[in-house]
Amino acid sequence: MGSTLILKVRICLKSARFFCTRELKPNLRGQQTVRGVSDQADGRGGGLRNRDIFQVREDGGGRKHSVRKLPSFPKSVFAAGTAKRTTEMLKRKTSRLSVAEEEPEPRASKKEGKLQPPDRPLSPAEWRKLKESLGNSPHFDNQMMLSLFNSGSELDVAKSLLSFVAVETGTLSYMLLLHYLCLCVRGGHSDEVFDVYKIMRGSFPSLETGASSLFIKSFSQTARWKEALSILHERKKVFTPSARNYGDVITAAVQNGDTTTAWALYDELIEKGLTPHQDTWEALFAGTKKTNEEEVMREEDQQERLQGILLHMRNNQIYPQHSVAKQIKTWFESLKGQNWTGAWTTPTPKGVCRCCGSELESIHLSAEEYRNLKDRVMADVIQGRDVFNKTTPEELERFKAFVKRKPAFDVVVDGLNVANIGRDKRMLSEMLLAVVLELECQGLNVLVLGRKHMLTPSRSWSKHNMSLIQQKAHCFFTDNMSEDDPFLLYATLHSGNHSRFVSRDLMRDHKACMPDGATRRLFFKWQRGHQMVMFGNITEGRRVRFKSIPSYDTIIQTAGDSWHIPYDDTEDRSTYEVPQRWLCISKKKQPLN
């Protein structure tokens, strides 16, 4: 049993490394540095490779560990891409278990072979023949235009189709022209777009959103970008234009040197509560190539506004993409007489920038933020619209009295979540006991939250284990009908800023209970700093390990003479994860090393 387990873990590691070589590299580097630190600390931890970690178990649990946390191999759960990698790993595991049980069927695409667009322009007679051969469908023209679009045909073919339809029916429908317009815009035929614009304006009372978006996009790329602006203004009469529309016009304005218009539109965009696209920021940071005399005068102004964008990103916890980050770097470095230098970096686990050596902002909340969060969690998560939804008033009072009676907890354990971490349903109480013992071993004051059904002895919940847990830790059991997560949050928040909680649950549903974005971000910050998640399998005789908790906040930050900007360099970041790579921009001259 033991050997197979090791084998399995090895396979997992191997395959994981195979799949994400790029991801693992910075990771391993991190491990090495930490190893260096622990080397000095106890002079024994060196050479602790992955293989050795798993051999520790074979030596038996009797061996004493002076290192509290093993090398930071396990990253935080909130590191970018973790969720996606875990899913892939699980998928591979299940597929290995059910070997070739289900072959992925070659999905026959529905439209394949239905309409074959011609490869050259046809004359009306030929089109008519083709139409008749395909059953003379009334939707022939639209279907053909779509298939031309999908197969990326030449514009001339589409033109000949339009001519055929125009000759045959005497007019062209709006839909057909719209599809043709899509084809033109994708191919970048701006002259053709102008013609279509004239025709559509002439033939129809107004343009709907799809066509006007396409025109805005296309006009913005040409010298007639001012017309895109007027289309945008026209569109505002009915509904708010999208952030993409604004972005196109802003980009055009910036590139044509009209920064005043660009900033006015940007302000309008923010005012309407839209989130600008990353391309828009990129364009704004890239700035104009033309140099007017006016522009030089407003250099200061421009600088302030661009830094305002960075602060906006900070306040809304937005992370720029890699391309935007690059543009930000070039912009900073292009500022004359200010001597900025930018570098790509990652911080140490202690929260120190490896590049400039300055300390990043702490993940810990300030006293006021903390109080604010505590009140909001109580009001929105636990009580919500109806106390009875998650608990009952009596139980809530009972719990409040319980928390008040006990000393502040160092760590609160989500009993059921922790117990269910293993796959074996008979081992539930063992799992929980192992975690509680580990925490107690560290000299922490532990609270275990559970439901009342855990106290009835059964195969999963052995009486002996439960009584041991109750000896080692404070316990509170909620009604079977109540949720336990809100209590977990309450107890942790109530025990002070140092208190942490153990759960694998990402608490996204509770985060969603918060009414506004600011509180949600605050909650997320607190969660990143206070949630402990177990790492790896829990087996007898092996220490329970937890994933590392970062000590710094991942957010854009400035200290006057330096900026630290976390950015996305991977596509697979989920919304509840934070990027791992940073852009460090500092004013001081870098010491050569």
Interface ranges with other proteins (CB under 8 A): 120-124, 142, 156, 159-160, 162-163, 165-167, 170-175, 178, 195, 198-199, 201-211, 227, 230-231, 233-234, 237-240, 242, 386, 388-390, 392, 480-481
- Smallest distance, other proteins to C-beta of residue 163, A: 4
Q: What H or E segment, with its residue span, contains residue 41?
A: helix 21-42
In the bound complex, what is the minimum distance in angstroms from residue 403's beta carbon to other proteins?
22
The least distance separating other proteins from the CB of residue 170, rounded to whole angstroms, comes to 7
Identity of the amino acid at 238: V
Q: Report, in Å, the least distance between residue 377 CB and other proteins.
A: 19
Complex with other proteins: residue 114 or 201, whichever CB lies closer: 201
CB nearer to other proteins: give 227 or 279.
Answer: 227
User: Two tokens at 55?
Assistant: 């051999």
Give the dihedral sign, CA 581/522/438/454. Answer: negative
Please identify, using beta-carbon distances, which residue of 84 and 159 lies nearer to other proteins: 159
CB of 123 to other proteins, least distance (A): 5
**115 touches 144 (CB < 8 A):** yes
41's torsion region: left (phi>0), alpha (psi -120 to 50) or beta?
Answer: alpha
Residue 80 DSSP code: T
Q: How near is the Cβ of 452 to other proteins at its closest, in Å?
A: 11
Instruction: Kindly state the smallest distance separating residue 200's Cβ from other proteins, in Å.
Output: 9
Nearer Cβ to other proteins, position 95 or 209? 209
Tally of residues, the chain: 593
Identify which of residues 229 and 325 has a Cβ nearer to other proteins in the complex: 229
Q: CB-based contacts of 434: which residues, under 8 Å, 6+ apart? A: 538, 540, 544
Q: Is the dihedral of CA 204, 208, 211, 215 positive or negative?
A: positive
Smallest gap from Cβ 168 to other proteins, in A, equals: 10
For other proteins, give the closer residue by CB, 157 or 522: 157
Instruction: Name which of 53 and 182 has its Cβ closer to other proteins.
Output: 182
- Strand order in 581-586's β-sheet? 341-345, 581-586, 562-567, 557-558
* Helix and strand element counts for the chain (H, E): 26, 11
Residue with tokens 């278990």: 97
CA distance 420 to 427: 9
Amino acid at 61: G
Whether 449 and 487 have beta carbons less than 8 Å apart is answered as yes
> DSSP assignment, residue 170?
S
Site of tokens 């035929």: 189
Judged by beta carbon, residue 207 or residue 283, the one nearer other proteins is: 207
Query: Shortest gap between Cβ of 222 and other proteins (angstroms)?
Result: 16
Q: Which amino acid is at 115?
A: L
Question: Could you tell me if 280 and 249 are in contact, meaning their C-beta atoms sit under 8 angstroms apart?
Answer: no
| 39 vs 505 by CB, closer to other proteins | 505
Q: Which of 441, 447, 390 is nearest to 414 (CA)?
A: 447
